[in-house]
């Protein structure tokens, strides 16, 4: 097993979190010939916890095929996906500022769940884990929401917020994994990588 892994994620936060664990890694990102967004389609009636685990598995298998297609040196491949859920509703990445404001209005004053699934592939073996956290948002004013949306931070983030950024000021309480809410639960990730022999 090489002393490094592939990270199949475009999230700079996941890369930073791996660095926090001192895990050397190379990015294994989709090429222009892959429609990565298509993997994130929600199936009718799909529960958030089922969705996040299914999508993570699909992303991992796509990364395994990508690795083989490119003829890259062997190493474990790590993949993760994060989903924000308000009840049974999945709050994905906002389409635009209006969509981000809608999500933040829905989250205002509410407790919601953040699911992050992690999966690792090494040769023909697979390991997976799930982190579940509860996040309590404070009551937000329309001015706070508008200012946060105008900052651009909600874009590209599930639930239209990043706990490690300005939105930290909105979060009254969390239960679970702070790094899981960021997008890569380090406890579960470390366990999976140990299981895979990294």
Q: What is the pLDDT of residues 121-140, one digit of tens each?
A: 999 999 999 999 999 999 99
In this prediction, residues 29-52 reach a mean pLDDT of 89
Q: What is the pLDDT of residue 40?
A: 86
Q: What is the pLDDT of residue 173?
A: 96
Q: Of 125, 140, 96, 127, which Cα lies nearest the Cα of 190?
A: 127
First to last CA, the chain: 7
Q: Return the number of other C-beta atoms located less than 10 Å from residue 10's C-beta.
A: 12
Q: What is the pLDDT of residue 77?
A: 97
Q: Does domain 5-195 have CATH number 3.90.950.10?
A: yes
Give the DSSP letter of residue 90. E
Alpha helices (H) along 86-141: 97-107
Residue spans per domain, the chain:
5-195
Q: Quick check: 192 pLDDT over 90? A: yes
In this prediction, residues 8-27 reach a mean pLDDT of 94
Name the pLDDT band for 34 (thresholds 50, 70, 90).
Answer: confident
- Whole-model pTM? 0.93
In this prediction, residues 165-191 reach a mean pLDDT of 96
> Is the CB of residue 113 less than 8 Å from the CB of residue 133?
yes
Rounded-to-integer distance, Cα 63 and Cα 36, Å: 10
Residue with tokens 């639960």: 185
Q: Quick check: 49 pLDDT over 90? A: yes
Q: What is the pLDDT of residue 2?
A: 78
Q: What is the pLDDT of residue 31?
A: 86
Residues annotated as part of the active site: 81
3-class SS of residue 162 = coil
Q: What is the pLDDT of residue 35?
A: 80
Rounded-to-integer distance, Cα 174 and Cα 65, Å: 37
Q: Quick check: 67 pLDDT over 90? A: yes
| Average pLDDT across the chain, whole number | 94
């Amino acid at each position: 097993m090489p002393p490094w892994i592939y990270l199949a994620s475009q999230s700079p936060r996941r890369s930073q979190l791996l660095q926090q664990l001192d895990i050397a890694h190379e990015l294994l990102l989709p090429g222009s010939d892959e429609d990565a967004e298509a993997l994130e389609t929600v199936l009718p009636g799909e529960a958030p916890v089922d969705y996040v685990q299914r999508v993570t598995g699909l992303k991992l298998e796509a990364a395994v095929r990508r690795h083989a297609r490119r003829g890259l040196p062997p190493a474990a491949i790590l993949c993760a996906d994060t989903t924000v859920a308000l009840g049974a509703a999945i709050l994905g990445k906002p389409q635009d500022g209006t969509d981000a404001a809608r999500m933040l209005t829905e989250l205002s004053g509410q407790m919601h769940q953040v699911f992050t699934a992690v999966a690792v592939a090494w040769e023909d073996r697979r390991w997976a884990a799930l982190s579940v956290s509860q996040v309590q948002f404070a009551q937000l004013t329309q001015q706070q929401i508008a200012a946060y949306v105008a900052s651009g931070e909600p874009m590209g983030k599930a639930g239209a917020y990043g706990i490690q950024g300005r939105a930290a000021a909105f979060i009254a309480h969390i239960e679970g994994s702070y790094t899981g809410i960021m997008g890569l639960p380090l406890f579960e990730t470390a366990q999976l990588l140990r299981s895979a022999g990294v």
